[in-house]
Amino acid sequence: MKQNGIMLSIPREELTDEDIAVMEAMGDDHLYTSEETPMRADAFEMSDAEKIDTIAYHFREIMNTLGLDLTDDSLRGTPRRVAKMYVKEIFSGLNPANKPDIALFDNKYGYGEMLVEKDITLFSNCEHHFVPIYGRAHVAYISGGKVIGLSKLNRIVQYFAQRPQVQERLTMQIGRELQRILGTEDVAVVIDAKHMCVSTRGIKDTASATVTSFYEGRFKEEKTRSEFLRYIS
């Protein structure tokens, strides 16, 4: 069953034949549906504390279903640990309240070349299997009159990474946000990452990596793009 375009998690016996056909046809295919992260309109009606309680309850049921003994000292606290990790850490980027505050500064020294922040550590999670994506992000911009603190570039990458993602969307979200903040079209983003849904399940290919890119403004020009790629290679 779908609500607001999202397939809801409901018992298999309640799924229509169409729902099952869509999910089975999708299989392990890698796809995404929009540049924006798919979110319900009521996504933030629950407090973080309520979400943690709810997730802990359901994760406990998952562990019970798997046959784990939740009276064991090592497992007893796992449902709540996972819930807190989801809400406060690895999926905290879903909540706009956690968006980093960004201060801009006038480009008083008139720096007109590209600024590149490379090898930004990136950790995210695949929205198809909820397993890690990890790698490096490289971002660049040419000032249109404003500059941004270097650490803020890392924080922007981190904010959009901390949600269920696909790499293409993540790349575009970082690029669009930098354009919006800096007031310039001249932005580039490259992400080079490994997907645990590829290396630990399914095809189990541990060698492959995925590279995605975002080039706008002057970075669409071959000379500028080549200069950026030389810096990050």
The total of other beta-carbon atoms located within 10 Å of residue 16's CB is 10
Could you report the per-residue pLDDT of 177-214, keeping only the tens digit for each? 999 999 999 999 999 999 999 889 988 989 999 999 99
Catalytically annotated residue among 13, 117, 127, 227: 127
Catalytically annotated residue among 129, 168, 185, 216: 129
Which residue is it, tokens 């706009």?
A: 96
Q: Across all residues in the chain, what is the average pLDDT?
A: 91
Query: For position 88, what pLDDT does the model report?
Result: 98
165 in active site: no
What are the extents of the domains in the chain?
A: 2-98, 104-232
Domain 104-232 is found in CATH 3.40.640.10: no
Could you report the per-residue pLDDT of 105-131, keeping only the tens digit for each? 999 999 999 999 999 999 999 999 999
58 in active site: no
Residue 7 has pLDDT above 60, yes or no: no
Q: Does the model's pTM come out above 0.85? A: yes
Query: For position 3, what pLDDT does the model report?
Result: 43
Q: 103-109: long-range contacts (C-beta < 8 A, 24 or more apart)?
A: 103/148, 103/149, 103/152, 104/146, 104/147, 104/148, 104/181, 104/182, 105/146, 105/147, 105/148, 105/149, 106/145, 106/146, 106/147, 107/143, 107/145, 107/146, 107/147
Domain 2-98 is found in CATH 1.10.286.10: yes
Q: State the average pLDDT over residues 71-93.
A: 98
